[in-house]
Structure 1
Amino acid sequence: MKLPFRLIATLVLISLTGTFAYQAYWLTGLYGTMTHEMEKNIHEAMRMSDYREMMLRIKKMQRENGQHGSVEVQAGYEAGSENPVVSRDIKDDEGNRLRKDTLAPEESSAMLRSDNGLALILHDQGSTQALAGFIQRGIHSGIDLFSSPDITVYDSLLTLQLQEYGIRLPHHLEYFRTHTTPDSSQVFVDTLGRVQSAGYLPSKKAVRYDYTLNMSLSETYRLTMEPVDGLILKQMGGILATSLVILLILGFTFGYLVRTILRQKTLEEMKSDFTNNITHELKTPIAVAYAANDALLHFGLAEDRQQREKYLGICQEQLQRLGGLVEQILSMSMERRKSFRLHPERICLKTLFPTLIEQHRLKAGKPVEVALDIEPEELVLTADRIHLSNILSNLMDNAIKYSPAKAEIGIRCRKTESGQVEIAVSDHGTGIPADKLPHVFDKFYRVPTGNVHNTKGYGLGLFYVKTMTEKHNGNVSVKSEPGKGSTFTIRI
């Protein structure tokens, strides 16, 4: 079954893109909400600071009441008039009226019919904050008749209030009054006070926040400070870090998934190549042995002793080759079974190698010279005899196959300081490129040789060597240089 890699990769990419997009949308929405909330807090801080500043002035006026008498502020309608009137009575300690002031009708009307005035109370009674602002401006209109706002006190209160909301930024504060000519053709602005943080100079990106004090909307506090983006990002630091970690985990997971699928796809292709190769390898000895046997049976070659021995030798050689192939395949199958067991025994290497060397000389088809060096001469190794023979046979077979017209092989056996036995098989063949060395022990892997050496194989030999060596609690390594040969070393 072929893996639908393109479909899977497309679905993974769509899923990852969708996850990233949703995360970005959610974070953007959160950023917008926090920005709106912080700006709302700034306006609320300006309102609360104004209220507290006004309460401080009222308390101050109460303390001074014994010296200046009492003040009453009244609002209502005069008899027979449709215009609202606001008046104030100033009395002495004994209750005698000293002076009564009445505001002009247009000022009174502005107090009671401003844009955020009675209409708001009558039509939007649920807006508590707006109603509080309306009442606060109404109080201002009375209090400011006797005591002007103190911008220094207001600035101190505002700084504390902003800090309560986590806003610690240098700022610039102005208090100004606007008025127009009778025909409203010109607008005048009078700056009544200015305060700013030490050393602060507003930049071009600075943001202005206005808060209107009185009912006539003529007096305003203007707060200027840098954008709150940095504060919001700092507050979102934990969320952003968590989101980044999640995205990295997702990215790594999807990447690992794609990598696994690619490896599975590669493994599938390698298995397909292996099937084709092993089919060819199995068919060749069968076909040769069948042809030799057929010649002996049907063409009278059995009568000729020399021909008979020749063809029987061919049959035996091909059957040995076929047996070797089947043995490796069965070994790979058995290695995965839980019931697989080694049968270790003490093996004298001096008696093991001669038989192996002779077998490889007979089937090599080319001159083979083997230099065997065992030290000490009676070196003994504890291992499974069959699998150790197969391990060494694979290494020797590779050394012969990848050697030129004449194979020169060196076999060196030593005992290491750690007590292991080290067996190194060297050749002077084609060698292996450095970038291919990490893969030579992978299952089904074959080093590409181009058109220089068309050597048959199916990528199981070295995998078998590595697997069985590790089953013996040992390890295998390789050193190679293209054009100079290779050395495979096992330690058991």
Structure 2
Amino acid sequence: MNKRIRTAILILLVGLVALLGLQALWVSSAYRSECRTLTQKAAILTDRAVAGYLYINAFSWYDSMRTRYGDGQQYYSGGIDYPEQKLSVKIYDPQSGDYRRIEKKYDSQAEFATNADPNSVLYHVCGVDPERFDRMLDSLFRRNGIRTPHVVETVDRLTGAVLRTTARKGDDRRFTIRCDTLPLGIDDKEGLVVRFDGSLSGMPARLRAILLTSLAITVLIAILLVLLIRILIGQQRQSEFREEFVHHLIHEIRNPIAYLKRVLAKPDDAMFPRRIPIAEAKIRRIDLLIEKLLSASSERLDIELRKVDIRRLLDDIRASYPDAELDVEIEEGITAFRADPVHLSNALCNLVDNAVKYTPATDKRVDIRCYRQSGMLCIDVRDWGVGIPGEFRPLVFDRYFRVPAHRSTGATGFGLGLSYVRMVAEAHGGKVSLTACRPGCRFTLRIPYTPCDDQ
């Protein structure tokens, strides 16, 4: 991967990280704003609910005391001493016949004014039952558009310990949005807290919409980024492939031409006749290369069916590889048949050439077996080379695919040979297949067997 591609990918990744950061800030800001709006509205409604609850509950308490102990007693009273900034509550205890007195002197006039509210006095009289209060509060919340699940807690304001709660055991919701503690009574000991569900399912619909929209945008951008990176990497690979392709093409063409130039430069040499077959093989190799390149630019081959003598064709191929041991076996009774002699010869040359290239120099042995099967002419080309790893076998007939160099002998090529063989087979109405062997592998070319009438 060159420097420009790496720089582009780095810029894209930095942009994605920055975008994710902005998304996170946006969602966090929206979340805090929604939480602040929710708690401010809930605090006002909770204060109103407490006042209504204590007013109603105080009357119920007083009526129950009168019913039980008669009308001749004052069951509670509250006192306010303005000069001393002091509040006091006297609550009658029927069991002892005495009054329980609660007093609180405040240090500032503002604190005194806040706690001089009658509700602060009533709390010591009748208290707050969280379960009953929660039902009243829930109804008030719903009438005012708050449908987020919540719990009600009474807490010790000094230690923060929860004294009573409406939370159910086993409830896995997270009540993380907390309203400010609402003081209860005149002595600053207890307070009331409302907590809202801070999970996604409990959040207000507007906030859920913001979160889901942000998530969708992030996923879409991530997908587009991945696709863009894949395109950049693909373009880089194509660029590298073109460079390698041109390099190999020049190498493949230059070697035969150099050999032909050397042969033609010395026509009077005594070795000239012996070099003619090799020169012909070199020319055939260039012709084969041209056919493969032409097939790479087309999706199909145009074939011309003519008479083909398979024995002569295989003998010519065997003569083209004097340095290899080609063992040819042809089933008796196979006569000349109809096929495209040029493309069929080139396809078999490709298979044999691969078998020779990927076979160790110490044992360049190739077996070629020709036989008939179910109306098809089958030609096996078996080698004892390095073989093809299992993960690459489904890909060997794809155009431009080559087994990675570290898994092979490092032989050069374009990845066009086997795709060309497949095109030749399909153009004839047949197919080509690969079978793994130990060692090496076997390619089988199958084409329809149509004997010629003019034998």
The 8 Å contact of residues 422 and 490 in structure 1, kept in 2 or not, is answered as: yes
What is the CA-CA distance between 1:468 and the residue it aligns to? Answer: 4.8
Q: Does the 8 A contact of 2:380 with 2:443 survive in 1?
A: yes
**Of 258, 267, 291, which residue of structure 2 is paired with 1:327?**
291
Pairing partner for 1:166 from 138, 147, 164:
147
What is the number of residues matched between the two proteins? 393
Give the corresponding residue for 2:389: 433
Counterparts of 2:376 and 2:244, CA distance in 1: 37
Residue of structure 2 in register with 1:224 after alignment: 193
Q: Is the 8 A contact 2:179 2:193 kept in 1?
A: yes
| Matching residue's letter, 2:147 | G
Q: Which runs of 5+ in 1 are unaligned?
A: 61-101, 119-133, 177-186, 188-193
Query: C-alpha separation between the residues in 2 aligned to 1:59 and 1:287?
Result: 116
CA contact (8 A) 2:197 2:203 kept: no
Does the CA-based 8 Å contact 1:285-1:322 persist in structure 2?
Answer: yes
Q: Of 419, 440, 452, which aligns to 1:485?
A: 440
Please give the residue correspondences for 1:70-81 in structure 2 after superposition, counting only pairs within 5 Å: none
AA partner of residue 221 (structure 2): L
Q: Structure 1: which amino acid aligns with 2:193?
A: T
Alpha carbons of 1:141 and 1:480: their partners in 2 closer, same or farther (altered >3 Å)? same
> What one-letter code is carried by the residue in structure 1 that aligns with 2:252?
E
- Give the counterpart letter for 1:170 in structure 2: V
Change (3 A) 1:323 1:6: same
Percent identity over paired residues: 23
Residues 221-277 of structure 1 show CA distances to partners (whole Å, capped at 9, x for unaligned) of 832355642367655556545544543443343233323333332332232222222
Q: Summarize the Cα distance change of 1:377–1:365 in structure 2 as closer, same or farther, 3 Å threshold.
A: closer
**What secondary structure does 1:222 align onto?**
strand
Q: Spell out, residue by residue over 1:259-308, the C-alpha distance to the aligned partner (whole angstroms, 9 max, x if none).
A: 33333323322322222222122112212212221212xxx44xxxx655
Matched, 1:290 2:277: no
Note the aligned Cα RMSD (angstroms): 5.0
C-alpha change, 1:52 and 1:220, in structure 2 (3 Å) is: farther
Which residue of 1 is the match for residue 246 of structure 2?
Answer: 275
Q: Take 2:318 and 2:430, find their aligned partners in 1: how far apart are those partners? A: 28
| Partners of 1:423 and 1:452 in 2: CA distance | 24
Q: Quick one: which of 302, 307, 315 aligns to 1:342?
A: 302
**1:395 has 2:364 as partner:** no
Cα deviation, 1:157-204, whole Å, max 9, x if unaligned, reads 22322455124333234799xxxxxxxxxx9xxxxxx97538679x99
Counterpart in 2 of 1:310? Answer: 274
Whichever residue aligns with residue 386 of structure 2, its letter is T
Query: CA offset at residue 464 of structure 1?
Result: 2.3
- Distance (whole Å) between structure 1 residues aligned to residue 377 and residue 220 of structure 2: 45
Letter in 1 for 2:302: L
**What CA distance in whole angstroms lies between the structure 1 residues aligned with 2:407 and 2:120?**
103
SS in 1 for 2:13: helix
Q: Amino acid of the residue matched to residue 486 of structure 1?
A: C
Partner amino acid, structure 2, of 1:254? L
**Residue aligning to 2:228:** 257
The answer for the alignment partner of 1:410 in structure 2 is: 368
* Offset at residue 484 of structure 1 (A): 1.0
Query: 2: distance between equivalents of 1:37 and 1:220?
Result: 28
Return closer, same or farther for 1:446/1:114 CA change in 2, 3 Å cut-off: same
Unaligned runs of 5+ in 2: 61-78, 88-107, 448-455
Residue 355 of structure 1 is matched in structure 2 by 312
Aligned equivalents of 1:420, 1:3: Cα separation in 2: 53
Q: 1:421 to 1:9 in 2, by over 3 A?
A: farther
**Partner SS for 1:257:** helix
Deviation at 1:42, TM superposition (A): 2.3
SS, match of residue 488 in structure 1: strand
Q: 1:480–1:486: 8 Å Cα contact kept in structure 2?
A: yes
Aligned-partner SS, 2:180: strand
Q: CA deviation at 1:46?
A: 0.6
TM-score by length of 2: 0.66
Structure 2 equivalent of residue 15 of structure 1 = 15
Q: How far apart in 1 are the matches of 2:190 and 2:363?
A: 99
1:48 aligns with 2:17: no
Residue 369 of structure 1 aligns to a residue whose secondary structure is strand
Superposed displacement of residue 37, structure 1:
2.4
How far does the alpha carbon of each residue in 1:17-56 deviate from its partner, in whole angstroms, 9 at most, with x for none? 1222122222222221222222223203213324655886
